[in-house]
Amino acid sequence: MLEWTQQKVLEIAMEQSAIDLCCQPEDFLKDGNVAVSSGVREGYRKYLKLPFFCNLVSYGNNIVASHDPKVKEIVWDYMERFGKVAGFETPNMHVLDDAFRQYGYRICFMAEYFLPELSVLCPLECGYELRVLGAEDFGTLYTDQWSNALCKDRKELDVLGIGAYDGGELIGLAGCSADGRDMWQIGVDVLKGYRQKGIAASLTSRLAVEILKRGKVPFYCAAWSNVPSVRNAIKAGFRPAWVEMTAKEETYVNELNGVGGIG
């Protein structure tokens, strides 16, 4: 881990985002907003559905938008009107949401992404036995209980984990998926009755250290309203790095909301 620098961690994250959005890494550092047509580049994060209709990303300097060419003017006007902060907030996002409805799309996902802060990251203790796990250990763990740590739909991407055990029983699990070329995403689950004991932060921090040892950058994603998840990220040694807002098909949004095809 000694060869890592905070700048290198950030550069790798921006390189991955640039692949995903079909832009250049330096676009995230510009003073002005950037809009590019979405496409598919080799090395994109495996769980993304590309090309985007519209995906807005900010590392805190501006907004970079990757979009369908037919909504370029709509997206550009929105970014210029609201900017890097208000563009990701209500009520402003309704302006974009309303404009997209004519194309059958709605604003769907809003997420905050975290990167390790190397000056504070360290393997935290939790008072339980911890074991490093590999893909060969995950076979029976693809259940709802461990659905944040592991993904049964993309088992081939689950490459590393840390398990917490109480008397031989698995009580907590952090897993990571090889979602990007140089970045692995962390997810974590802890059994009820063992929560709020520091287990999640211990698992997350230790897995982050193991990922860095393997030459990859760990990243962590949380919905802005998921306070426990955000608190865990901070406690484990992660800090906010970038935000994303993504539009999806209205039929997909309705399915998530349990209203079928009703518009």
pLDDT tier at 44, thresholds 50, 70, 90: very high
pLDDT surpassing 50 at residue 249: yes
Which tokens go with 4? 């890592």
- What is the per-residue pLDDT for 259? 81
pTM of this structure: 0.95
Query: CA angle, corner 164, sides to 163 and 167, nearest 5?
Result: 125
Beta strands in the chain (DSSP E): 34-37, 54-58, 64-67, 105-116, 129-134, 158-166, 169-177, 183-190, 217-222, 238-249
- What is the per-residue pLDDT for 70? 97
DSSP symbol at 125: -
pLDDT surpassing 60 at residue 261: no
- What is the per-residue pLDDT for 263? 39
* Beta-sheet pairing, 183-190 with 217-222: parallel
The answer for residues whose C-beta is within 8 angstroms of residue 170's C-beta and 6 or more apart is: 141, 163, 164
Distance CA 224, CA 239 (A): 13
pLDDT surpassing 70 at residue 211: yes
Other C-beta atoms lying within 10 Å of the C-beta of residue 146: 24
CB 224 within 8 A of CB 112: yes
Distance CA 241, CA 129 (A): 31
Torsion angles phi and psi, residue 117, rounded to 5: -95, 105
Distance CA 123, CA 44 (A): 29
